[in-house]
Amino acid sequence: MQNHNLSFSNPYPFYSDTREQTPIFQDEKGTWHLMRYQDIVFMFTDSRFGRKPNVSLGHVNKNGVATMLDDVISKWSLFNDPSEHTRLREILSHLINPRFIKDTKAIIEDNVNTLVAKLPKNTDFDFMQNFSYPLPIRVINHLLGTSLDVTTVRKWSFAFATAMDHGTLEELEEVAPTIISMIAYFRELVIAREAQPGNDWMSELIRLKDQYNITTDDIISNCIFLLLAAHETLQLTLGLGLITLVKHPEQRLLLQNDPTLIPSAVEEILRFDAPWNKMSRWTKEQVEINGTVIPAGQLVVAMINSANRDPERFPNPNTFDITRTNNRHLAFGHGIHLCHGALLARLELQTTFTKLLPLLDHITLYEDRFEWQPNTSLRYISNLMIRIHDHE
C-alpha cells in the first residue's frame, strides 16, 4: 500500500512518487486526492464539484452543530458556489480594483524599503519575524483601515490556519476565543466607519450595504477573510521565495543581470514552491476522472504543489527556471475561485524581490534551524533563520 505520509519540510519526493503510482487515491478517512495537473484543472472547472458538502462546511462541535468558525467562513466567497459566490465576488471587485491598488503600490514600496533597511547584518535572525510577517500586515492595515499589530494578527492567523487544516474538536474549541476577539474588533471598527467613513475597504463595504443587501455580520466576516487572505499565504511565499532564490545561485545571477525578469521569477517561485499545498471541493454528483469514479458527496483534495511539479505539464518540473514560459501554475487556484488578490500579491512579491536582489549573494540559510508547522494545507514555515553578511 502506498505510504501517504507527508514530509512538511520537503513534500516533493512524496508528491512525485504518489503522482506516478497512484495519481488519484482515497485515503483511510475516505478523502480523495488528485495529484496530476490535468485532473485538478478538470476539478476546478467542472460544475459538478462544489465548495460545500451540504448546508454546513463541516466544522461542527461534538453535538454536530456548526461552530463559530463555520458561521464566519460560510460568508466568504471562497466557500460558496454560484450564485452566492458570484454576488460575493462582485462585492470584492469593488475593493480590489485600480482605485485602491494605485496608491497601494507606493505604500508597498515604502514599507519594503523600510523593512529591508532594518534587516540586521552579521547576526542570525528570523526572516519571517523581521520581514515576512510585518510587510503584508502593514499593507492590509492600509487597505482595510485597520491598525493591527503583528503579534495580534499572527495569533489570529495561526489559530485560524490550524483549525481549518486539522479541524479537530479541540482545535475548533480553541479557535473560538480568537474568532470572538476578531468579531469584536471589527464590529467596533464598523461602528466607527459608519460614523466617519474613510478611503478604505471597510468604508467601501459599508457604502455597498444597500446595493448588495450586506449585513454588518457579512462585513465583519469578509473583513476577517481579507485580513487573513492578504497575510497568511503571502508571508509564506515571501519566505519560500527567499529560500528558493538563495539556493539557486545561477538563477539568482541571471536575475541580477536582468531585473526585468522579476515578474517571471515571481511566477516561477509560485510554481516551484507555492504556499498552498492543497485546495478542496465536494462532488455534487458522481464524477469520473480518467477512469476513476468518485461518488456524490465526497471530499476531493487537489494537491496544488504536486500539480505544479507535474512533468506532463511543466518540462523539467524540479528545475527552478525563471525564464520558464507558459507558466500557468495553480498557486492562485483556477476557474471561478481564482484568487481575487493575485494582483496585490504579485505586486508585493515583485517589489520585495527587486529590493532584496542585491542582498541575495550575501545571505546564509540555516536550514537545520528552520521550523515547519505540521499543516497539510499550507507550506507553513514559521522560523526562517538567516544571516546577511556585511558586503559594503
Q: Is the pLDDT of residue 135 over 50?
A: yes
pLDDT, tens only, 232-251 = 999 999 999 999 999 999 99
Cβ-in-10-Å burial (0-12, 13-18, 19+) of 239 comes to buried
How are beta strands 24-26 and 32-34 bridged, if at all? antiparallel
pLDDT, tens only, 256-279 = 999 999 999 999 999 999 999 999
Question: Using CA atoms, how far apart are residues 182 and 271, in angstroms rounded to an integer?
Answer: 33
| DSSP H or E stretch at residue 386 | strand 385-388
- pLDDT given for residue 1 in this prediction: 30
pTM for this predicted structure: 0.94
Contact (Cβ atoms closer than 8 angstroms) between residue 242 and residue 356: yes
DSSP state of 56: S
Max Cα-Cα span within the chain: 63
Provide the residue type at 34 as one letter: L
What are the sequence ranges of the domains in the chain? 12-388
Sheet with 24-26: list strands edge to edge: 24-26, 32-34, 299-303, 278-283, 49-50
Rounded (5°) CA angle 193-184-160: 115
So what's the architecture of 12-388 in CATH?
A: Orthogonal Bundle (1.10)
- pLDDT given for residue 4 in this prediction: 40
Q: Show Cβ contacts of residue 384 under 8 Å, excluding neighbours closer than 6 positions.
A: 126, 127, 128, 132, 239, 242, 243, 365, 370
Cβ-in-10-Å burial (0-12, 13-18, 19+) of 69 comes to buried
- pLDDT given for residue 391 in this prediction: 72
- What is the percentage of the chain residues whose pLDDT exceeds 70? 95
- Give the count of beta carbons closer than 10 Å to the beta carbon of residue 391: 9
Contact (Cβ atoms closer than 8 angstroms) between residue 215 and residue 159: no
Query: For residue 351, what are the CA distances in angstroms to 55, 110, 228, 237, 260?
Result: 41, 10, 21, 13, 12
Q: Is the pLDDT of residue 59 over 90?
A: no
Q: State the helix-helix crossing angle for 134-144 and 150-166, rounded to 10 degrees.
A: 100
Q: Is the pLDDT of residue 66 over 70?
A: no
